[in-house]
Structure 1
Amino acid sequence: MQNFVFQNETKIIFGRDEEQVVGQEAKKYGKKLLLHYGGGSIKKNGLYQRVVESLQAQGIEIFELSGVKPNPRVSLVREGVTLCKENNIGFILAVGGGSVIDSAKAIAAGVNYEGDVWDFFDGKNSVNDCLPLGVILTIPAAGSESSGGSVITNEDGSYKRAVGHETMRPRFAILNPVLSYTLPSYQTACGITDMMSHILERYFTREKNVELTDRLCEATLKTIINNAHTVLDDPTNYDARAEIMWAGTIAHNDSLNTGRIGDWGSHDIEHEISGIYDIAHGAGLAIIFPAWMKYVYKHDVNRFVQFANRVWDVEIDLNDLEKTALQGIQKTEQFFRLIGMPVKLNEVDIGEEHFEEMARKGTERGPIGNFIKLAEKDVFEIYQLAK
């Protein structure tokens, strides 16, 4: 087990109707607030009105910036940075899913910086000081509500890049499972895939003697798997929605990667796909993760055997461990398909024309991943396996 420091200061406020306390929480950080959200869904379901009333009751002046899209764009982030600077705004409230939260984090990072916010994402500078922000989560998926990371897309060149810093963690996150009742089934399935992928990135480590976090990863994966069909078949099942929502937070709040080194190659590989083709991140991960598994499993067959046995209940064949490992990969792919996810690039009309470009861009800063290091040619081969 590796040495580690674990500190997560995000206050989680979980349960029915808890969005009504947002004004009380936000007032701790000043009297001017940027309300950041996506489209009109929060107005249609009444959440916007409840949030505004709670904020106004505490005397908070509200500035708004809507229009966040999936795979959030740096152009809107720049608008938010300017808006905050010009109006001396001291707090950001993100109401939405991972895209809104990541966009809010990027704005928070850019406000106290004199250069262009994209500098952080292309490695020209490092984040060290962010505006405080809070979250009302509406889409369980990305885990951004208590993580220290943000992923943003630059329309110029179709680059999708990530950056992280402890000051980017939200000060509070309000999680009401009821707010996820109206999500389309496809979006729910994308979220399930996203949170499972966050766990898998951590689970596939070369670090030995990490039994506790292995077991925590496995338990969280099985909880998601056990509740996935319930939320898809019965969208207003509160108990199942609550399990999924909390699992999504646990998957990415860093508790599952204490003492271990995760991989993260699959995320980097997928970012190139959604950066160019603008597909849902979860859908891209459902395609890439099984392909990555097929490409790397022989480097540590025992870990893949453990995964197959403990997560998917595959009986271990002591005479053919490779067979057991492959069954676990097959079960993963089958599960993604059963919940309505694509598992091949051709299922989302993506051909080979950008494989070389994506492999080159994905590794332009050097090899990616930690389970094994992936060079440009390796990434290209994984795209081939996924086509």
Structure 2
Amino acid sequence: APRFAILDPAYTMSVPKMQVISGAFDTLSHAMETYFGNSDQDNVSDDVALSIMRNTVVNMRRLLKNIDDIQVRGNLMWDSAMAENGILKVGRVTDFQAHQLEHQLGAYTDCNHGQGLAVIHPAYYRHIVKDAKEKFERFAKVVFGKDTAEAGVEALADFIKECGLPAKMGELKSKTEITPELLRNVADTCNVIKCNPRELSRDEIYEILMECM
């Protein structure tokens, strides 16, 4: 396995805007799913994760205004490295249920990974927001400047639309038609994470996926 990586945003300048935005949303997703795991509230990893989330959102907005800004691309590259180099996960459990749903959705379709996550996250968080109220309140305040947990989830949904990312299954570019039957298969075969704020039943997972239709 690689021991280190040399990060140079110059090599990303030819990557189209929507692909960068989609990849950056995956960065945001990794930070969110690390943060919302069942770990104690007062730890430095949570503070760092929130900072990465906030910075990713800020720079995604900057990228929408100027796709050729190499500083913004560099910021997003560093956000990505910090979100997934393992530092945030030290000594804690994580909630990667949304990733598990998207991985299985991707196995049945050819949808873009980051865009699939953008569709799934808001619906999933609407189901678990009451099970991790304090963490969602901090997320809402730090990342989106909102006062309540629920407002933070809706701000995330609005941000997804602001970025031009898909908000519903029908907006995903997939050669395979996404039907209720396909989503039932996703729900029945995906991994179910046990260390998220609340373990989901497969029926609730199907309900979440159907809310994304």
Same fold (TM over 0.5): yes
Which of 37, 45, 48 is equivalent to 1:213?
Answer: 45
Instruction: Work out whether 1:259 is the aligned partner of 2:67.
Output: no
Q: 1:379 aligns with which of 202, 205, 209?
A: 205
Distance in 1, matches of 2:76 and 2:58, equals 10
Residue 6 of structure 2 aligns to a residue whose secondary structure is: strand
Partner of 2:121 in structure 1? 289
Distance 1:210 1:271 in 2: 31
2:8 is equivalent to residue 176 of structure 1: yes
AA aligned opposite 2:152: G
2:64 to 218, 227, 232: 232
Change over 3 Å in CA distance of 1:261–1:218 after alignment to 2: same
- Aligned Cα root-mean-square deviation (Å): 1.5
Instruction: State the match for 2:19 in structure 1.
Output: 187
Q: Distance in 1 between matches of 2:68 and 2:112?
A: 23
Q: Distance in 2 between matches of 1:250 and 1:338?
A: 24
Q: How many residue pairs end up in the alignment?
A: 208
Q: Which ranges in structure 1 are unaligned for 5 or more consecutive residues?
A: 1-167, 316-323
Q: Does 1:357 align with 2:185?
A: yes
Whether contact under 8 Å (1:210, 1:260) holds in the other structure is no
Q: Distance in 2 between matches of 1:209 and 1:267?
A: 22
* CA distance in 2 between partners of 1:330 and 1:303 (Å): 15
Determine if the alignment matches structure 1 residue 326 to structure 2 residue 158. no
| Unmatched tracts of structure 2, length 5 or more | none
Structure that is richer in strand per residue: 1
Which residue of the partner structure matches residue 338 of structure 1?
A: 162
Deviation of 1:292 after TM superposition, in Å, equals 0.8
Runs of 4+ in 1 over 6 A off after TM superposition: none
Counterpart contact for 1:194–1:281, Cα < 8 Å: yes
Structure with more contact order per residue of length (Cα contacts < 8 Å, sep ≥ 6) = 2
Q: TM-score, normalised by structure 1?
A: 0.52
Distance 2:152 2:25 in 1: 16
Deviation per CA, 1:147-196: give whole Å up to 9, x if none.
xxxxxxxxxxxxxxxxxxxxx4x123121101111111110110111000
Task: State the alpha-carbon separation in 2 of the partners of residues 199 and 286 from structure 1.
Answer: 14
> 2 CA distance for matches of 1:192 and 1:369?
26
More helix by share: 2
Structure 2 counterpart of 1:350, one-letter code: I
Is contact 1:286–1:342 with CA below 8 Å preserved after alignment?
Answer: yes
SS, match of residue 37 in structure 2: coil
1:382 positional shift: 1.3
Q: What code does the residue aligned with 1:249 have?
A: A
Quote the sequence identity (%): 29
